[in-house]
Structure 1
Amino acid sequence: MRTITLVLMLLLGVVTTAQTTISGKVVDDNNQPIPGANIALQGASVGTVTDFDGLFTLTLEETPPFTIIVSSVGFEAATVNITSSSSDLTITLKEGTELDEVVISASRTPERVFESPVSVERFGIKKIKTTPAADFYDGLESLKGVDINTNSLTFKSVNTRGFATFANNRFVQLVDGMDNAAPALNFVLGNLLGMTELDVNSIELLPGASSALYGANAFNGILFMTSKNPFDHQGISAYVKGGITSQDAAGDNEYYDYGIRIAHAFSDKFAGKVNFSYLRGTDWFATNEISVSEGATGTRLDPNYDGLNVYGDEVSTNIRGVGVSLVNLGILPSGAENLLPNEEVSRTGYLESDLNNYDAESIKFDAALHYRPFANDLEIIYLGKVGKGTTIYQGANRYSIRNFFLQQHKLEIKNNNFFVRGYITDEDAGDSYDSRFTGININRLWKDDRTWFGEYAGAFVQATLAGQLPEQAHLLARQTADTGRLIPGTQEFANAFQQVINDPDLATGSKFQDATQLRHADVNYNFSHITSDFVDIQVGGSFREYKLNSSGTIFTDFDGPIRYSEYGAYTQLQKKLADDRLKITGSIRYDKSELFDGNFSPRLSLGYTAGANRNHNIRLSLQTGFRNPTTQDLYIGLNVGRAILVGSAPDNLDRDIRSFDLSGGGQTITGQSSINLAGRQAYENSYSLSSALAFGASQDPNDLVIANPGIVQPEKVTAAEVGYRGKVDRLVIDLSVYYNSYKDFIAEEAVLVPLYGEVGDNSLSLAALANGDAEVYQAYTNSNVDIKSYGATIGLDTKILGNFDLGVNYTFSKQDFDKSQDPDFRTSFNTPEHKVKASFGHTNLFKNFGFNTSWRWSDAYFWEASFGNGNVPSFNVLDGQINYTIPKLKATLKAGATNVLGDEYFTAFGTGFIGSQYYIGISINNL
């Protein structure tokens, strides 16, 4: 027994002596603590992070000597040899540059920005904390080459390298590996289902095509947001922020934002975290009333006035045609129709502000459980995220997104060499509605179109017979037809409004109804730990399934959900040569959708590090990208007022069947009062809209051009890029030049479908056009026109006047497209040719005090989108912030303002003008 006891004591002593505890502090060159610095055992995944005061404690099952690596974003990593247990280590990190930061996205493996084979931008913790923007997501606008189009206060659309609307399906956003695009919309609603500022660990952005590693739709670029691991970042942190938004149209309105993060490691095997944030404010009012109707004078006195942010006035008809019908019915005497002008008259609309209270709200919650069954790098993760928000989305119409709900659930198994993950995305449109159809159907609920136009025509005739001039007769006719009209602010209007926005039938309502789902799985294995002596090898693959479920209100899924799937597989080889100065990366991916043929996406890049101090890197890449047609490109079947949107999946062409009333002339010709047409007609029996408008003016059949657009196919791009990164003394330089060539460019084409006759017959189809028996369709197709784009970026960062940070970058973007080759084709490039951005600040101007300012200028550009086309004037914006750290409270006070100059601007035609935002906030224990 005594022997056994002795043996046990000896074993315990061995175990005890095998555990080494070290502790200390990590500081910068100014002896200021560095919170959130990583301390890790060299060659292993064991480690910890410093707290708010830069303090750390690390216990290892290792006996000295051994080496630890200490690193933090914005600093050069330090290697420290440990020879014994210690409790008073002080480790000083030298400030580095952006080139020293580590990214994962460019090659799916850790590497310095300096050595990345393609362009990459990183928005790290330091930039997040010092951004003058009111929200970290808005701060992305400071990155070079990045465009952020402001849809509303809570919905910003990120894009790079042109060709984007708010429905930006050429750009992918991944949050902890999950695509957080709304499945039915096929694009990201900003940061609605993103993450809170407290939980952001890193943000990386790859501009340009990335399909070789990330598959379909990683076409213009891809944004990666990764959260903090609860094993490494523990404790309770919180922030509170408040202020006002100021706009000429909306006045001054309160704005507040707060959040909390709780994370705890219960053992070396089990950890968890929860995050919650809430934001509320008032959106930017959209009050542009310019008329967008053909031939309009641009004022509300125009009989056919159709205001940009006015809804209900899209409904119009030829008033003489109404007179003909009234004469045929005996309501007006014979010949009275000749007193009516041969012109279009529109119904009176409602201002957008009458139909939207402009509330802006964002609620985010997520919870994660992390399990390390062997207390090593193997980790099993469950993550659940929910987001609920109220915002405005501008697509074909302006949509009031109210209580929109999006949730994601992920299960992932990973270690340093592989991951396997699966997740589901589920959306619910909540109480969302279409502003345009709200105005249209409130009008119709009060008085149907036939009655309103009939009263208008009758009053016009009477006024004319009484000797009134046409202008006076139009005013009197509108007043007569509008007698008793529902007035905003009255209970009668409120009742009608509620009835319409809760009705999903666009013939009578405007509710946006959807419960679409996306299921996705992907896997990656990095064999570098096995094959590094020869070449680094990675392989991976993915599978995705869509389940469209709008009950026939958006898609043609009136008879049940529509499902389709796609999959892909890829491999990448990477090798360093010539004393590790030359880095060669090659990858290829194969993707297949069940609706289309398969597609290969190769990429080849070369990077060479030059200079005696290896301070210069030159890179060259040639890669391809592709994007599959979106769910809407394929299966939409939606009347948006100005046109009927019809997707061109082969099985969708005959799913979209609509009934149209024929005019009196049509009934005489066809013997029918109505006719049913399938969406197929837009692709097989249509005229180009521009030629139909020309025919309407000239009545010359030779002006008509048969459209018959082709069925939509995947879009492809070939992208070439040359870049340079380097450091000359204190100046960091990062520049790139790219050239993109597109094939089968996907876009929408407006066509006119005659309700009877065959295009080109010069008889029935012409009669249909003459009688107004035709319908505008918006077809999803590919262009045969050559489309190219090219551009360049350059960024310069340095320290001046001691330790002040100065950064300047310039972006040039240009498309090469001859619109005369296809007048009805719209590329939606929507990008200024020139952009300049600059920042100036100091993280520690004096003890615990810092500041930062940012300025950006945008050249004027032309905005093209289905809602409207128009010029976006040049603008410049100045933002600024000051911050003060209170070490004893582990807190930071921050006050800032955006658009300090107060010059209101907009980034897209049809949106509200962007005013100023002023805020003050405090964050506590935010490592």
Structure 2
Amino acid sequence: MIKKILLIAFIAFSSITMVAQTTVTGTVKDAKTGETLPGANIKIENKAVGTNTDFDGNFVLKVSDNPPFTLEVSVLGYKMEKIEVTKNNQKVTVSLTENETSLDEIVVSASRTPERIMESPVTVERLDARAIKNTSAPSFYDGLENLKGVDVNTNSLTFKSVNTRGFATFANTRFMQLVDGMDNSSPALNFAIGNLLGMSELDVNTVELLPGASSALYGANAFNGIMFMTSRSPFNDQGISFSYKYGLTSQKAAGDNSFHDVSIRMAYAFSDKLAAKASLSYLKGTEWYATDYRNTANGKYAAGDRSINDYDGLNIYGDEVAIDLGGAVGRVSRTGYQEVDLMKDYEAKSVKLNTALHYRPFGDDRLELIFNSKFGVGNTIYQGANRYNIRDFYLAQQKLELKGKNFFVRGYVTTEDAGNSYDSRFAAINVNRKWKSDQDWFTQYAGTYLVTGSHAAARAAADTGRLIPGTSEFQSAFDQVTADPNLVTGARFQDQTKLYHSDLNYNFQDLIDWAEFQVGGSYRRYSLNSNGSIFTDYDGAIDYDEFGVYTQMQKKFLEEDRLKFTASIRYDKAQNFDGNFSPRISLAYAAGENKNDNFRASFQKGFRNPTTQDQYIGLDAGAAILVGSAPDNLDRYTSSPLNVSTAGQPLVGGSTTTLSGRLAYENSFSASSVQNGAPAASAAPLVKPEEVTAFELGYRGLVNTGESRITVDLSAYYNSYNNFISGKNVLVPFYGTVGDNSLSLLALQNGDFKAFQVYTNTTADISSYGASLGLNTKILNGFDLGVNYTYAKFDFDQSSDPDFEAGFNTPEHKVKLQFGNPNLFENFGFNINARWQGDYLWESTFLDATIESRTLIDAQINYSVPSIKSVFKLGGANLGGKEYFSAPGVGAIGSQYYISWTINN
């Protein structure tokens, strides 16, 4: 028996030793400075077998392959080198040459095929892992604001909205964000939700951003810009990475509050066929308090303070409930509650989990199957028509993707649950109604005023019994209201909408020689499920579909392929609308001895389908009822009972009446005409897709100035819009037919009408145009210096459509400056970013107001400790400390200070 065991052991040991093992050692250096490069990738060509250099730039690679084979050595910002391995125990020294310019970086998004930024047919902005390390912003997502032509509007500490080329809102439905190929939009609301379901900073590979229309390749929502976030592959980036960031947010209203941001990433390749990764990030802090108590009227700031009888404070809710008591009393509003009393503890929280399993059946990147699951939970604040406290929300995506060298096919599903979210305005309105009905409150007010002649005494009498924030009675009423989804009595925000999406692409580059052809398509289904609290889905989910197909041809001409021609076209069809074609044509010419002067011109058409809200919303937001214009939505919405004046009650047959959504589109007055004293019927046809025709010229190049080189990136664009989608305010009379008899005018006089917001298209001519210029160079033997300028403007004749608000919401002038050195001395670097922008008008359903000009400075210093594979970073945002508003109604944004420790990234 012992002999048999020894024989088996000998055979097993022999079989192991007979498997060839090749060892390669080496060092990777910067060709110019001679300094070693930590974190460089070393892998066998066409295989997922490799390693990384340590903090000293050294590596040891042990593989089962027999020589000869080829190693690929690469690191971000440097040109890849290939090394031939011809024997076992070979020792190599690899010198990598730094890219002459960031324009040498490779991007995929512009044409759905790899190409240098220098040669891209459209404007591209890019952020990679090296830039993320050097950013002075508190997070990589905040750092996007330092890119040329990019705006980041701060809704709250955890919810930022990225925008390009104007028409910004927090509900930015004109901008698309893809994370590993998945649309990061909320299925119900159709706009990107920042990085709430994005990725951990440790897992970011690249971020590519295309300003302007991209519908020709990416469909309906890529209307005003698109951003691509890609994560690291577990085959190429293995190991365990960890990051901890601690900091303070400082604001006058909220004081100094700490925040914590913790991330961990684990990736492992079990073989050259199977790899897996998981990343988890957790952020907790305090939101920016919103404490703007200025009076408002008709959607704008107005005169008067809390002492006036019809006061309506911006960040005070519940005082929107107001009536005209007539005579000497006049218009009176109920006493509201401050937002700080309605947002519980203003806790900001974000937890993200991302797991992925990668399988390569042939052991290389010719074919790869990926299953990806992403989950996000937390708290944030969203400002739309009202201010929403999004608490305990849940978002998830599951994707299955098969991709190869020339194709991909993927499908994913996005699900969301609003959790314990609620509308702060309705929370205040219905807490008020818990302790005293509107009728009783106004009756007491009027009675006391008639006796005393004092508004102060009348309010004090009517407020007798008012629930006081901080008391158990207030908290009990508040908890009941925020748990109730019926907006007549409650404030809860319900949503369990799903989105199903699939898309595919095939590149014929290996089958067709004379040009590069691609074809692709996508299919999407929305399943709206708000239980009637947002949409008119009272009887069950509302499903509707969209699909699209596209093709692209790219061909190079002239000597050395200096001229590149790109043509693409896409057809999209949505269930409720006619189909749309989106063509794009571009030319790019590379001049100069080394093709370092690149000129480009492009023409394209884009379109945007009306959102789920544009079509199916049915929501009484207090100041107005929002009703979508899908044909099957008009009769499905019926308002809650509305109080009718004494004079109007005989005309409707009772003290209350109800209104259908159809009346808002077919029997309503233009709100502006009533305000101007000349009531006229509104013109609000059912909404249809929005279109844009875009022209762009650009230049990218490398200019030699003797001792230094300057990279230049210049672009100019002009956009012309047709059927621009807009919300319009209309007034629906309780009786009478608008334009046919005097009863409808009598209803206006008696106050027997209700404001609606309808979704339609403006007939006005709208255009926007702008330009951007970016300059980057090195000075003083290694210091990075960059400056960029963006100009944005739009044209619109307000008189052609008085009820239309364009909401361009973008400063005309922006200047951004960057200065730093990642290697000021050994293991030490720093970076400074400064931004200035001019003032501009912000228009929204929440409020119209001017956003003041501002100058912001962010800075960071970092220090590497190779012995423990760590980088320490100390930085701050808005170091000047002057608070500013990203939009009217949000919290004033103060300063952030942080210190971070990152290991093995």
Q: Which category describes the TM-score, using the shorter chain as reference length?
A: over 0.9
Q: CA deviation at 1:46?
A: 5.0
Within-5 A mapping of 1:143-158: 143-158=147-162
Q: CA deviation at 1:38?
A: 3.7
Residues in 1 aligned to 2:47 and 2:550: alpha-carbon distance in whole angstroms:
27
Residues in 2 aligned to 1:33 and 1:801: alpha-carbon distance in whole angstroms:
22
SS of 1:570's partner is strand
Residues in 2 aligned to 1:875 and 1:48: alpha-carbon distance in whole angstroms:
48
Q: Are residues 169 and 195 of structure 1, via their aligned partners in 2, closer, same or farther at CA, if it must alter by over 3 Å? A: same
Residues in 2 aligned to 1:65 and 1:500: alpha-carbon distance in whole angstroms:
73
Q: CA deviation at 1:671?
A: 3.1
- Residue among 672, 686, 691 paired with 1:690: 672
| Contact 1:811–1:835 (8 Å) recurs in 2 | yes
Q: CA deviation at 1:34?
A: 2.8
- Residue among 66, 72, 83 paired with 2:75: 72
Partner of 1:360: 348
Partner of 2:173: 169
Partner of 1:449: 438
| Contact 1:238–1:259 (8 Å) recurs in 2 | yes
Residues in 2 aligned to 1:64 and 1:238: alpha-carbon distance in whole angstroms:
36
Residues in 1 aligned to 2:703 and 2:80: alpha-carbon distance in whole angstroms:
20
| Contact 1:314–1:642 (8 Å) recurs in 2 | yes
Q: CA deviation at 1:173?
A: 0.5
- Residue among 24, 30, 39 paired with 2:33: 30
Partner of 2:518: 538
Q: CA deviation at 1:24?
A: 1.9
- The one-letter code of the counterpart of 1:89 is V
Partner of 1:906: 885
SS of 2:140's partner is coil
| Contact 1:123–1:202 (8 Å) recurs in 2 | yes
Q: CA deviation at 1:197?
A: 0.5
Q: Are residues 296 and 813 of structure 1, via their aligned partners in 2, closer, same or farther at CA, if it must alter by over 3 Å? A: closer
Question: After superposition, what is the alpha-carbon deviation per residue over 1:245-298, rounded to whole angstroms, capped at 9, x for unaligned?
Answer: 000111000111101011111111111111101001111111101111259533
Partner of 2:104: 100
Partner of 1:698: none
Q: CA deviation at 1:577?
A: 1.3
- Residue among 305, 308, 312 paired with 1:302: 308
Within-5 A mapping of 1:694-713: 694-695=676-677, 703-713=678-688
Partner of 2:636: 655
Partner of 1:673: 655
Q: CA deviation at 1:89?
A: 1.4
SS of 2:464's partner is coil
Residues in 2 aligned to 1:535 and 1:41: alpha-carbon distance in whole angstroms:
30
| Contact 2:652–2:734 (8 Å) recurs in 1 | no
Q: Are residues 576 and 302 of structure 1, via their aligned partners in 2, closer, same or farther at CA, if it must alter by over 3 Å? A: same
Residues in 1 aligned to 2:897 and 2:795: alpha-carbon distance in whole angstroms:
40
Partner of 1:568: 548
- Residue among 501, 525, 528 paired with 1:548: 528
- What TM-score comes out, normalization by structure 2 length? 0.95
Within-5 A mapping of 1:473-872: 473-531=454-512, 533-578=513-558, 579-658=560-639, 659-695=641-677, 703-729=678-704, 730-872=709-851
| Contact 1:666–1:768 (8 Å) recurs in 2 | yes
SS of 1:657's partner is coil
SS of 1:267's partner is coil
Residues in 1 aligned to 2:50 and 2:165: alpha-carbon distance in whole angstroms:
39
| Contact 1:36–1:49 (8 Å) recurs in 2 | no
Partner of 1:350: 337
- The one-letter code of the counterpart of 1:262 is M
SS of 2:297's partner is coil
- The one-letter code of the counterpart of 1:566 is E
Question: After superposition, what is the alpha-carbon deviation per residue over 1:711-768, rounded to whole angstroms, capped at 9, x for unaligned?
Answer: 0001111111001000113211101000001111011001111111111124110111
- The one-letter code of the counterpart of 1:708 is A
Q: CA deviation at 1:676?
A: 2.6
Unpaired runs of 5+ in structure 1? Answer: 1-7, 321-337, 465-472, 696-702
Q: CA deviation at 1:61?
A: 7.8
Residues in 1 aligned to 2:603 and 2:889: alpha-carbon distance in whole angstroms:
37
Residues in 2 aligned to 1:15 and 1:839: alpha-carbon distance in whole angstroms:
56
SS of 1:677's partner is coil
| Contact 2:424–2:491 (8 Å) recurs in 1 | yes
| Contact 2:47–2:272 (8 Å) recurs in 1 | no
SS of 2:461's partner is helix
Question: After superposition, what is the alpha-carbon deviation per residue over 1:615-651, rounded to whole angstroms, capped at 9, x for unaligned?
Answer: 1100111111111100000000001111100000010
Residues in 2 aligned to 1:60 and 1:486: alpha-carbon distance in whole angstroms:
73
- The one-letter code of the counterpart of 1:122 is R
Residues in 1 aligned to 2:15 and 2:604: alpha-carbon distance in whole angstroms:
58
**Aligned residues with identical type, % of pairs:** 59
- The one-letter code of the counterpart of 1:767 is L
| Contact 1:48–1:57 (8 Å) recurs in 2 | no
| Contact 1:636–1:646 (8 Å) recurs in 2 | yes
Partner of 1:372: 360
- The one-letter code of the counterpart of 2:718 is Y
- The one-letter code of the counterpart of 2:723 is D
Q: CA deviation at 1:910?
A: 1.0
| Contact 1:296–1:304 (8 Å) recurs in 2 | no
Question: After superposition, what is the alpha-carbon deviation per residue over 1:828-868, rounded to whole angstroms, capped at 9, x for unaligned?
Answer: 11000000001100001011000001000011000001111
Paired residues, number? 881
Question: After superposition, what is the alpha-carbon deviation per residue over 1:797-829, rounded to whole angstroms, capped at 9, x for unaligned?
Answer: 000111000110000000111112112101111
Residues in 2 aligned to 1:776 and 1:710: alpha-carbon distance in whole angstroms:
17
Question: After superposition, what is the alpha-carbon deviation per residue over 1:145-173, rounded to whole angstroms, capped at 9, x for unaligned?
Answer: 00000001111000000012000010000
- The one-letter code of the counterpart of 2:78 is F
- Residue among 158, 163, 170 paired with 1:159: 163
Question: After superposition, what is the alpha-carbon deviation per residue over 1:198-256, rounded to whole angstroms, capped at 9, x for unaligned?
Answer: 11111100111111111111011111111111111111110011011000111000111
| Contact 1:296–1:305 (8 Å) recurs in 2 | no
Residues in 2 aligned to 1:624 and 1:184: alpha-carbon distance in whole angstroms:
26
SS of 1:812's partner is strand
- The one-letter code of the counterpart of 1:121 is E
Q: Are residues 85 and 529 of structure 1, via their aligned partners in 2, closer, same or farther at CA, if it must alter by over 3 Å? A: farther
Partner of 2:4: none
Question: After superposition, what is the alpha-carbon deviation per residue over 1:481-525, rounded to whole angstroms, capped at 9, x for unaligned?
Answer: 011211111111111111111110000110000100000001111
Indicate the RMSD between aligned Cα atoms, in angstroms.
Answer: 1.9
Residues in 2 aligned to 1:286 and 1:90: alpha-carbon distance in whole angstroms:
58
Partner of 1:178: 182
Unpaired runs of 5+ in structure 2? Answer: 1-10
| Contact 1:296–1:302 (8 Å) recurs in 2 | no
Q: Are residues 40 and 574 of structure 1, via their aligned partners in 2, closer, same or farther at CA, if it must alter by over 3 Å? A: farther
SS of 2:381's partner is strand
Q: Are residues 669 and 185 of structure 1, via their aligned partners in 2, closer, same or farther at CA, if it must alter by over 3 Å? A: same
- The one-letter code of the counterpart of 2:540 is G
- The one-letter code of the counterpart of 1:900 is L
Partner of 2:3: none
* Bigger shift: residues 73-82 or 655-664: 73-82
Question: After superposition, what is the alpha-carbon deviation per residue over 1:324-369, rounded to whole angstroms, capped at 9, x for unaligned?
Answer: xxxxxxxxxxxxxx5x33x211000011001012111100011111
SS of 2:648's partner is helix
